[in-house]
Amino acid sequence: MDDLTGFYFEDIEVGMTASFGKTITEADIWGFAAVSGDTNPVHINEEYAKGTMFKGRIAHGILSAGLISCVLGTKLPGPGAIYVNQSLKFKAPVMIGDTVTARVEVTGTVADKGFVELKTQCFIGDRLAVDGSATLMVPKKG
């Protein structure tokens, strides 16, 4: 892997893993709301959110999924990889102050297409918050 190309398809093996963790802040939620336009009050209005099943504000689910994108685009497979598909199941809410760790694991490859298949998950400690899978197109050598 290098800083500009990440792993080449030929260098990827089933079982490889990578992760990235981040503590979710108030600024992250407001920044994501501004960029995405998602101003659902469950994310930005404490009084409204207190009346929900979560009893307080929660982070946007896709904000956590963005941490998966970080791992895929910067670590494994890394720069040069292109998203083809992502499926997600949101299992637990992420609150302000939670540290979310995105983990990816290579589960398979499709040689003729240069695709890499990965398990994609986000955890808060040992608790699974996001469960999914992704397919990425990865550059081949030469």
Q: What is the pLDDT of residue 30?
A: 98
pLDDT in tens, 45-78: 999 999 999 999 999 999 999 999 999 999 999 9
CATH numbers and ranges of domains, the chain: 9-137 (3.10.129.10)
* Residue entry with tokens 């500009």: 4
Q: What is the pLDDT of residue 142?
A: 77
User: Which residues pair with residue 102 across a beta bridge?
Assistant: 20, 122
Taking the model in full, what pTM does it have?
0.93
User: Which residues pair with residue 120 across a beta bridge?
Assistant: 104, 132
pLDDT average, residue stretch 23-42: 98
